[in-house]
Amino acid sequence: MPKVLVSDKLSETAVQIFRDRGVEVDYLPDLGKDKEKLAEVIGQYDGLAIRSATKVTAKLLENATRLKVIGRAGIGVDNVDIPAASKKGVIVMNTPFGNSVTTAEHAIALMFAVARQLPEASVSTHEGKWEKNRFMGVEVFNKTLGIIGAGNIGSIVIDRALGLKMKVLAYDPFLSEERAKELGVKKVELDELLAKADFITLHVPLTEKTRNILSRENLAKTKKGVRIVNAARGGLIDEAALAELLKSGHVAGAALDVFAVEPATESPLFGLPNVVVTPHLGASTTEAQENVALQVAEQMSDYLLTGAVQNALNMPSVTAEEAATMGPWLKLAGHLGTFIGQMTDEPIKAINVLYDGSVAEMNLKALNAAVIAGVMKATNPDVNMVSAPVMAAERGVQLQTTTQAKTGVFDGYIKVTMVTDRRERSIAGTVFSDGKPRFIQIRGINVDAEIGAHMLYTRNKDVPGVIGALGMTLGDLGVNIANFTLGRTHAGDDAIAILYLDEAMAPEAVEALRATGKFLQVRPLQFEV
C-alpha cells in the first residue's frame, strides 16, 4: 500500500479520499513548517501533499528515498525545487484550474467595490457617520469592460460581465476571431482597449511580455475616468505611475489584489481614497480551497495506484514503455513549438503538425501536447503539457495532425506549421542516432542546427557582407558563437542564420545587429535543454 504524507492543511474530505482509494495517509498539517522534522520522516513516504507552507528543497529531496510524487493543492509551485525533483525522478503535480471561478468572482467583486466605493463607505458608516453624498459611484451597466487576457479565468469574467449587460473588449494575442465570437466579445488590439474601456481588468500571467503591460506609457493612453482591476499577478502594472494618475484624476479608481512585491507592506497606492486593496485573496474561498484539495488527492491516488499522470509539471503523460523511445522526440517537439512561439507576435489561428516515418507511430497526443506547450510558453512560462492544450482550445487555436510514411533521408521527422491571419511559419526537426534533437528546416530552407539554451535567428537578403557584419558585431560586443548554421532558398533570395550562443544576448546586442540595416529579422531565442 502506498503511503502519503499531508504536511500542510488540507480538508478532511481530501484526506479521506486517500483512505477510500486504498492509500495510507498521515495527516500532519503543521509538519511542513518544521524543516528538520520533515527531513527526518520524508523517507517513509511515496507521496507528499502540500500547499504553500511546505518548502520542498533539493536538500529535503536528498532524504526522500521513496518519494514518487509531490502534489501541490493550488497553482503556484514556487515552494518546490522542480529541477531537483526531476533529477530524483519525482513527479510534481499541481491543480491549475481548481480556483478559476473564485479568482474570476474576486475580480468582479473588486470592480463593484471600486465602482461604488464600498470599502470606504463601510468604514465611514462603522464610524457612525452618514456620508451619503460623499460616496457617489457609477453603474457597471452598459459600460465597456476591457479584458486583458481571455484565457480560463478571463473567459469566466467575460461571461459574468456579459450577464451584467456590460460591453466587453478583449485583448489576447492567442484569441482567435472565432473564439471571440463564441465568447461574445469584440477582439481588439491593446491600444483600442485602453482608449475605449471604462473598466480594465487583467487576467494574464507575469512574463517578460506582460510585465508592466500597463506601463506609464500605456496608462496614459487610457480613457479619462477609467477604473482598473488587477487580481492576476503583481508586476503587470506600473504602480507608481498608476498612483500619479489616480491623484491627477485621470484614473478614477483602482482595485488591486496583487502587488509587485508581496507581502505588500507599503505601496504608493496605499492610503489613496479611490483605491481598493486586498491581500492576494483571489483563491481564498472555502470552495476553491476544497476543490484544489480534492483534486490533488485524486490525482496523487491515481498515479500511485494506476500510474496515470495528470497536471504534471515535469513529466509527459506517457507510459513507461513509451518514455524510453519517445524522450528525445518529446524534447524535439517542445523545441519546435518553442521556436514557433518565440517567433510569433500575432494571434495564432492554427497549429499544424506533420509526423513523418518512425515518429508517426508514437504517442501523438503526448507529442502534440509538447508542441503546444512549447508554443504557449512564450506567453506563459508556467504552462505544462496538460494545461497547454486546454489553454490553446480556450483561445480557439485549432490543432491539425497529419501522419505519413517515410518520405526522405531521415527515419522520421516532425514539421510544425503555425497559421495566423497574416502568414504561415514552419520549422522541422529530427532526432539523430545520438539521441540529440536537431532543426533540419526553417521557412522551407534546409539547415542542420544543433539546439542550445541560447540561440539567435536572423533573416536577410542573400547579399555579400551580411555574415561579416553578423560576426563582427557580435564579436565587438563579446558574444561568443558556439555553433553557426546558414541556409538560403536561391542565390540573391532570402537567407537565414541560426546561431548557438554561449550565453543569452543582451538587448543592446540585438539592437546593434538591427542597427546595421542588413537584417530583415533578428530574434534571440531561449530553449530548455
> pLDDT for 97-149, tens place per residue?
888 999 999 999 999 999 999 999 999 999 999 999 899 999 999 999 999 99
Region 318-343: mean pLDDT is: 84
pLDDT of residue 318: 64
Residue 385 reports pLDDT greater than 80: no
Which three three-digit cell numbers place residue 117? 466605493
Q: Does the annotation count 280 as an active-site position?
A: yes
Tell me the pLDDT tens digit for each residue of 187-230. Answer: 999 999 999 999 999 999 888 889 999 999 999 999 999 999 99
pLDDT of residue 284: 87
Which three three-digit cell numbers place residue 468? 561579416
Q: What are residue 412's DSSP bridge partners? A: 357
Query: What is the pTM assigned to this prediction?
Result: 0.69
Residue 164 reports pLDDT greater than 80: yes
- Among candidate residues 262, 287, 346, 511, the one labeled active-site is 262
Residue 267 reports pLDDT greater than 80: yes
First to last CA, the chain: 36
**Exposure of 424 in the CB half-sphere (CA atoms within 13 A):** 10
Confidence band for 451, pLDDT divided at 50, 70 and 90? very high
- Among candidate residues 233, 395, 425, 454, the one labeled active-site is 233
Residues 309 and 315 sit within 8 Å (Cβ to Cβ): yes
pLDDT of residue 310: 81
Q: Does the annotation count 36 as an active-site position?
A: no
* Amino acid residing at 52: S
Residue 432 reports pLDDT greater than 70: yes
pLDDT of residue 386: 62
C-alpha span between 196 and 438 (Å, rounded): 47
C-alpha span between 303 and 310 (Å, rounded): 8
Q: Is 274 buried (19+), middle (13-18) or exposed (0-12) by CB count in 10 A?
A: middle
Residue 168 reports pLDDT greater than 80: yes
In which order are the strands placed within the sheet that holds 199-202?
Answer: 186-187, 167-171, 144-148, 199-202, 226-230, 251-256, 275-277
Region 427-432: mean pLDDT is: 95
Region 400-429: mean pLDDT is: 93
- Among candidate residues 280, 443, 488, 514, the one labeled active-site is 280
Segment 137-141 long-range contacts (CB within 8 Å, at least 24 positions apart):
138/227, 138/252, 139/115, 140/111, 140/112, 140/115, 140/164, 140/166, 140/199, 141/165, 141/166
Query: Is the N-terminal amide bond of 263 cis, ω within 30° of 0?
Result: yes
Measured CA angle at 499 (ends 494, 501), to 5 deg: 160
pLDDT of residue 319: 60
pLDDT of residue 85: 87
Confidence band for 96, pLDDT divided at 50, 70 and 90? confident
| Alpha-carbon distance values, 272 to 78, 252, 255, 265, 504 (Å) | 32, 11, 11, 15, 41
Tell me the pLDDT tens digit for each residue of 21-38. Answer: 999 999 999 999 999 999
Confidence band for 414, pLDDT divided at 50, 70 and 90? very high
Residue 252 reports pLDDT greater than 90: yes
Confidence band for 323, pLDDT divided at 50, 70 and 90? low
Region 492-505: mean pLDDT is: 90
pLDDT of residue 320: 53
Residue 7 reports pLDDT greater than 90: yes
Residue 460 reports pLDDT greater than 80: yes
Least confident of 63-67, 335-339, 407-411, 448-452: 407-411
pLDDT of residue 86: 80
Residue whose C-alpha cell reads 506517457 in the numeric block: 318
Least confident of 369-378, 379-388, 485-494: 379-388
Q: What are residue 354's DSSP bridge partners? A: 402, 415
Q: Of all helices (H) and strands (E), which one includes residue 332?
A: helix 320-343
Residue 52 reports pLDDT greater than 90: no
Which three three-digit cell numbers place residue 345? 507576435
